[in-house]
Structure 1
Amino acid sequence: MRPGDSFSILNRGKVSFDADTFSLLYLPIIGRDAFGLYQLLRVFSTGKISHFLEYLDFGLNPFIDALDKLSGIGLVRVFDQQPGYFLEVKSPLSFEEFLADDFYKQLLISRIGENKVQALAQKNEPNALEVTKKFHEVYSVKFERSSKLDQPEKFDLTSFKSIMESQHLTFSNENQDILSLYSLAEKFDLNWYELFKAAEQTANADKTLNIANLARTLAGKSEPVPSLSEFPKGFQDLIVISKEVTPADFLSKLKQQTGGFASQEEMKILNHLTKQNIADQVQNILIHYVLIQQEKSSLNSSFVNTLANDWLRHKVYNAEAAVKRILEHQQKAEEKQKNNKNHKNQRKLVKKAPEWSNASYVNTTSAEDIAKFEQYKASRRKDREEK
């Protein structure tokens, strides 16, 4: 987007606008630049992007940031058709609609605080009998049941909080957690129940939501999984098995094959990995790597934790990614070993250093030779002075 690009408002004059609602509810969220830009979008029809910059007295980057804030909160839609843009301005929610929406309400709380939002939400009801008619009491209309399959399902915070309570889960920071849940539901296209199941699996040991782990897990699941055919045959079988058994059973069976047994300390290590939200299938690959490929007799907490941290940093969330990480590590180790071998085999031509540079060198010059050299230096100085 450049100052010289043209713009055209698609629906000028078709926007309902309540200045009080926009100032009290939207301004704290979108900020002054976006607030001013929205006012111009309501009255402009066509022109250049530079017109906005001149009226608002700021540069292109603040303009783009303000436009993004408006589009992000649903107040404008932007269509790129070079050499210009089409803009559709959307009407703000009414006062009641805004405060009845859990997401917008939480967003406003994050800006001005819960007490102020509660004060804004207070309604002055008259001390009188309400005689307002219901719609069905006045109008006789036959409704056809419409399908909602083609409409995106909005995140249902009420249902999410209800099931949280039934499962004794709590928020770590309610306001920030709720905003993050809305964002994750939209980003990964999840309904409230799908998001809850993921949040439940990634919760902290004290039953509080761990939004960071939740986001990391969802991001991992959204990554494309490589085909089994991309891995060596032995690893293909390992990947399949890793998804069928629990880490405790997998560890016990491997130990039995070697005539050993799973110790209490090893079970504690597995419990710790689970608390770090490392998937069972990833734990099984880790167990196999330590006991079989590294030929360790048992799991060592220090070694396992180092490996687990490395995998988490490299977004290893499934068995395929774990095996891929192992193969990458093996390839680097082989290349390093090969380079070291080549380095040792190379013969370097090194110029022989003078004997006097050796620390063990002993000066055997005679007194007579030293006297002659001093005499030579004196004669050279005399010659230079005469010149």
Structure 2
Amino acid sequence: MSDIGQILPIEGYRVLLTGSLSSDYTTSLTHLYQPLIGIQAVSLYITLVNEQDLQMDSAQTHHTLMNYMDLPLDAIYRARRKLEGIGLLRTFRQQSAEHTTYLYELHPPFTPAQFFSDDMLTQLLYHHIGQDKFDMLKMYFEDSSTWEGTDITASFSDVFQTFQLHTDDVAITDAAHNTQDDTASSIDFSWIEQRLESQLIPVKKVLTTANKRLISQMMTLYGLAEYEVEKAVLWALTSDNTLNAQEFKEACHDVFETNHQQASIKLTEKQENTVNQTHSEETHSADKPTTKEEQLIRKMENISPSQLLADLSSGGQASGQDLKVIREVMATQGLPSPVMNVLIHYVLLQSDMKLSKAYMETIASHWSRANLQTAREAMHFAKRQQLQNQKKQPKQKNDRRQTSKEVIPDWFKERKKQSEQTQQQTVSTDEEWQETEALLRKYSKK
């Protein structure tokens, strides 16, 4: 529903094609791109290509585009974002007091040869259509004007996710294709450089520009941690210290399958309630959390469980065992990522900052039955449970007072003593969530 209203039928658009289309561009679209982005996105691209020759001096309205494609405007908007995410379209918006106009800058699709030379796209296509069809296609295919406006093009990671566990959980990682070179340059490779130098392996020979791009793509595609990528690199080194690209990709996929036995690689549209970035910026001040609890909820909604655990570990890396516990609980109970974040926080507060698997599984099963879906719901649910537990304790104490004249066995006195000690150690609801505020301040300063 968040896609409705992102574009209005009365708003205009113009089309600009950068470069020239190859003679077989429709073959690339239907056989290589369509399995990844769907028929509506491909149809929109072809419609815009042909619309470029028909456009007049004045901009066409999106109502015209709705009639051409026989689609509602929210479906056209989603198709447009897929084209943006895959690198076939850049969108610019120009606003004035009277009207809003969009420029759709079309980019030619890769030729089959270019497509199969891109590691990210070939891996995605392989996972979408399977080994037999992929091999058949690969064998068959072997062998700017400027416009003033604000670039509001969605990136690949804004639109797509590359794998998802078989739960309602949010996918662990996103991938990025249309900014390949930027992605490679934005990753800090110092961690692997130090590892290679410690083993007297020539760094420049391994970390070439092409290999850096390959490493960054596989790292984001399969959601691998740095130490996992490091192992894959070392595994794929040849006897003369060069990186075997195919063995490296296979090693990354093996690590992924080990970590997520029930997950599959497939390009899917993000399910989060994403709104247009520009509209978000315009309403940012109104949505800004005002209280510390709201800040904490916002943090829980947007951070990953592994990053939260790392932030709460005094800036250090979360242990592999703790991450394994979290992954198993999420997969077993099907808790969304924001709810899992609140659960981690709650368990740490209740267990003196220790991550107890048994305790976490008990609470997780309860929260799963309660069908909690957001961080706000989970936090309020936890508070209510604590208040109910505290209300029960005085009643139990009064009951014992009424029977105080009876002869009480020693074992009952000992149990009472232990119960009172436990009660004294129980932190009140307000104090516990004050601790969360302190923790929030700790990692909000980073």
* TM-score of the two chains, using structure 1 as the length reference: 0.44
Structure having the higher Rg: 1
